[in-house]
Amino acid sequence: MSIFGKTVRKNKEAGFVRHGFLKDINKNKEFFLLLLPGLLCIFCFNYLPMGGLVIAFKRLNYADGVLGSPWVGLSNFKLLFRSPDLLLVTRNTILYNLVFIAFGATIPVALAIMMSQLRSKKMGRVYNSVMFFPYFLSWVVVSYVVYTLLQYDYGVFNRMLLPFFGKSPVNWYNEPKYWPFFLVFLNLWKSMGYSCVMYYAAIMGIDEELFEAAAIDGAGKFRQVMTITVPSITPIIIMLAILNIGKIFHSDFGLFFQTTMDSGALLPVTNVVDTFIFRSMRNSGDMGISSAASFFQSVVGFVLVLTANRIVKRIDESSALM
Amino acid sequence: MNLKNQISRKADLLFNIIFLIIAALCIYPILLIIGISFTDEDSILMFGYHVIPKVFSTYAYEYVVRNSGDILMAYGVTVITTAAGTVAGTLSVAMYAYAISRSGFKYRKLFTFIMFFTMLFNGGMVSWYMICSQVLHLQNTIWALILPMLTSAWNVMIMRTFFTTTIPEAVIESAKLDGASELKIFLRIVIPLTVPGIATIALFNTLSYWNDWWNALMLTTKPELSNLQYYLYKVINTMNISSSSSVGVLAQNSMTHETMPKESARMAICMLAIGPIILAYPFFQKYFVKGLTVGAVKG
């Protein structure tokens, strides 16, 4: 009884002097000091912009700033949904992403499996290093690469490839019909090495004894791959695909903006959500449509990522983001 | 029965051929850029772009070096921002990751979530731009090219995995018993033990700063704040993509009356921008693969 009374009094005193959280801060001050720079950064560049999403409901003017501008309700969204580009941009973004996901879940996997089967492990490493190279180039540099191929007068396509097939030169940057292929190829070209490394690491993690046992049972190499390798990396493939579906409203700005040289003639097949937002922000001084589109992308993207993550979690707890 | 459990020689040959073709596709474009940069301008106008110069010339490089004011400035901006961003970014990432990796830290879960949440949700391009320009006033300052990329949640999560998997709790506990403070433990024990992990994050940072054009595109208009990538972007956007009658940035900047080797000079500039990456590539690649495979193991 007396002990109990004592503790109560002690706690009360402590609470009076230093309140719970503040006390903890003092106790953990070294940890908070370590957190501080990172916290400041994400506060400024991640959390403030989240709050800044309210500008989608405002008519922004620079004199009043982000907070002072007048509220306009949903009128920005009405403008957005009346915009003729919205449907096209959404269609492009989703279709490109679906194709990217489909290729990303097959080609690098097949290559990683082939790489793991090569007789010479050394050659495998060499191929891996070379295939990884495009990943290290910026999209601006890739746009130079594309330019050297497609330039009208001196480009490799018009100077070497087309004459070889007896065709006349094509004005590539003005012909939308070729670009879906170019963009899909470029995306694969730049990201292949990266995904190949990931899948290769997963394949190397498979217990070697499984293959030996299968070989003793008389399974050929193809059979071994189909019954051991593929099933053991399928979870990773599915997880990555689902997580990418969560990002289906986002697109790689550099791919769609830089490599196409911002060419207006190509817009029907190269305009995606991010380039649409950027262009409406840059070209028209008022932020109405772009802020509404940006809001839409963030919120829908958030819901999709959460859903995708929930599905992943249900299939395999350890592959979920958190 | 195949004792060594390997694919047949025929299949091996086929795979090697496929990989050689893919490897060629990955390398060819860069060889092309190198080739063009060493080709005589008149030869380009006559024969088009080739990997192996029809007429070899280093004139493009001589020209670029002679008129290098803007390029040198862009190089300077890139070197400064990359150095500052790599050092400060790696440090802030390592510090944050260390704090949330320590089981003794009561608010570990909360701060892990605060960082992780930025991977799920963001304010989007317009809001980010408005905050950077109207609230933080970064527009047309060198900070615009450094601060926004300083702390990446992805890197923090990789670094946390590094810490939890490579540092035994017992080491930290015994240091604590000896009276070392958390900061001291971090600087004296944790950092030396995780040099490979820190090097990987530093390389991630170096690459993303070196290759960044986005922040310059969004937040700068002053020519003296162009970094290399943004300078390259401006150069290529003055190129005429359908016919050959444009006046480029370079031509306007040249004070001299010498003829400007348009095509080869641009590729020479591009080479100067990616040269350091090509040189450091073997080093980069090794650590990247290491970082990727460790990052895949979640803590």
Specify whether B53 is located in the same domain as B33.
yes
B19 phi and psi angles, rounded to 5 deg: -65, -35
The pLDDT of residue A19 is 64
B143 phi and psi angles, rounded to 5 deg: -60, -30
Instruction: Work out the percent of chain A whose per-residue pLDDT is above 70.
Output: 92
Test mutation, A148, A152, A260, A290, chain B, max B CBs within 10 A = A148
pLDDT in tens, A212-239: 999 999 888 889 999 999 999 988 888 7
* CB-CB under 8 Å, A274 with B91: no
pLDDT in tens, A290-309: 999 999 999 998 999 888 88
B287, pLDDT greater than 70:
yes
Contacts of B191 in chain A (CB under 8 A): none
A38, pLDDT greater than 90:
yes
Domain A75-138+176-319 has CATH 1.10.3720.10: yes
Question: Chain-wide mean pLDDT for chain A?
Answer: 87
- Find the range with the poorest average confidence among A22-36, A262-276, B244-258: B244-258
Q: Is residue B250 part of a domain?
A: yes
The pLDDT of residue B256 is 39
Residue A86 corresponds to which tokens in the numbers above? 């919205």
Question: Chain-wide mean pLDDT for chain B?
Answer: 85
A23, pLDDT greater than 90:
no
Please tell me which residue, B218 or A163, carries the higher pLDDT value: B218
Specify whether B269 is located in the same domain as B202.
yes
* CB-CB under 8 Å, B274 with A159: no
A272-283: average pLDDT: 91
B217, pLDDT greater than 70:
yes
pLDDT in tens, A72-101: 889 999 989 988 889 999 999 999 999 999
- Find the range with the poorest average confidence among A282-286, A298-302, B79-83, B107-111: A282-286
Q: Is residue B11 part of a domain?
A: no
Q: What is the ipTM of this complex?
A: 0.88
Specify whether B50 is located in the same domain as B193.
no
Specify whether B33 is located in the same domain as B161.
no
Please give the single-letter amino acid code of residue A315. I
A131 touches chain B (CB under 8 A): yes
The pLDDT of residue A151 is 87
pLDDT band for A319, please (50, 70, 90 cuts).
Answer: low
pLDDT in tens, B32-54: 999 999 998 888 888 888 888 88
Query: 3-state secondary structure string, chain A?
Result: CHHHHHHHHHHHHHHHHCCHHHHHHHHCHHHHHHHHHHHHHHHHHHHHHHHHHHHHHECCCCCCHHHHCCECCCHHHHHHHHCCHHHHHHHHHHHHHHHHHHHHCCHHHHHHHHHHHCCCHHHHHHHHHHHHHHHHCCHHHHHHHHHHHHCCCCCHHHHHHHHHCCCCCCCHHHCHHHHHHHHHHHHHHHHHHHHHHHHHHHHHCCCHHHHHHHHHCCCCHHHHHHHHHHHHHHHHHHHHHHHHHCCCCCCCHHHHHCCCCCCHHHHHHHCCHHHHHHHHHHHCCCCHHHHHHHHHHHHHHHHHHHHHHHHHHHHCHHHCCC
How many structural domains is chain B composed of? 2
Chain A, 140-159: which have a CB under 8 Å from a chain B CB? 140-141, 143-145, 147-156, 158-159
A163-175: average pLDDT: 89
The pLDDT of residue B252 is 41
Q: Is residue B13 part of a domain?
A: no
B169-179: average pLDDT: 88
The pLDDT of residue A94 is 95
Please tell me which residue, A20 or B253, carries the higher pLDDT value: A20
Task: Find the CATH number of the domain harbouring B190.
Answer: 1.10.3720.10
A166, pLDDT greater than 80:
yes
Specify whether B115 is located in the same domain as B155.
yes
Give the distance from residue B50's alpha carbon to the nearest chain A alpha carbon, in angstroms: 7
A136-165: average pLDDT: 90
The pLDDT of residue A321 is 67
The pLDDT of residue B251 is 42
Contacts of A173 in chain B (CB under 8 A): 241-242
pLDDT in tens, B63-94: 888 877 888 899 999 999 999 999 999 999 99
Out of B102, B151, B182, name the one closest to residue A42 (CB).
B151
The pLDDT of residue A63 is 77
Specify whether B264 is located in the same domain as B185.
yes
Q: Is residue B39 part of a domain?
A: yes
Specify whether B182 is located in the same domain as B98.
yes
Instruction: Work out the percent of chain A whose per-residue pLDDT is above 90.
Output: 50
The pLDDT of residue B294 is 64
Out of A136, A221, A262, name the one closest to residue B277 (CB).
A136
The pLDDT of residue B249 is 40
* CB-CB under 8 Å, A263 with B27: no
Helix (H, G, I), strand (E, B) or coil at B56: strand
B206, pLDDT greater than 70:
yes
B166-187 as b/e: b if 16+ CB within 10 A: ebeeeebeebeeeebebeebbe
**B252, A255, B136, B157: CA torsion to nearest 10:** -140
Q: Is residue B140 part of a domain?
A: yes
- Find the range with the poorest average confidence among A138-142, A254-258, A288-292, B236-240: B236-240
Domain of residue B32, residue span = 26-57
Please tell me which residue, A257 or A9, carries the higher pLDDT value: A257
Size of interface A-B (CB pairs under 8 A): 310
Cα angle, residue B209 at apex, residues B32 and B277 outer, rounded to 5°: 35
pLDDT band for A190, please (50, 70, 90 cuts).
Answer: very high
Specify whether B159 is located in the same domain as B259.
yes
pLDDT band for A40, please (50, 70, 90 cuts).
Answer: very high
Specify whether B162 is located in the same domain as B263.
yes
Specify whether B148 is located in the same domain as B274.
yes
The pLDDT of residue B235 is 86
Q: Which stretches does DSSP call E strand in B155-264?
A: none
Domain ranges of chain A: 2-57, 75-138+176-319
Out of B27, B47, B289, name the one closest to residue A197 (CB).
B289
pLDDT in tens, B1-11: 445 678 888 99
Chain A, 204-223: which have a CB under 8 Å from a chain B CB? 211-212, 215, 218, 221
Specify whether B36 is located in the same domain as B81.
no
Specify whether B53 is located in the same domain as B109.
no
Q: Is residue B9 part of a domain?
A: no
**B113-116 — which CB contacts under 8 Å span 24+ positions?**
B113/A322, B114/A39, B114/A42, B115/A38, B115/A42, B115/B153, B115/B156, B115/B157, B116/A321, B116/A322, B116/B153, B116/B157
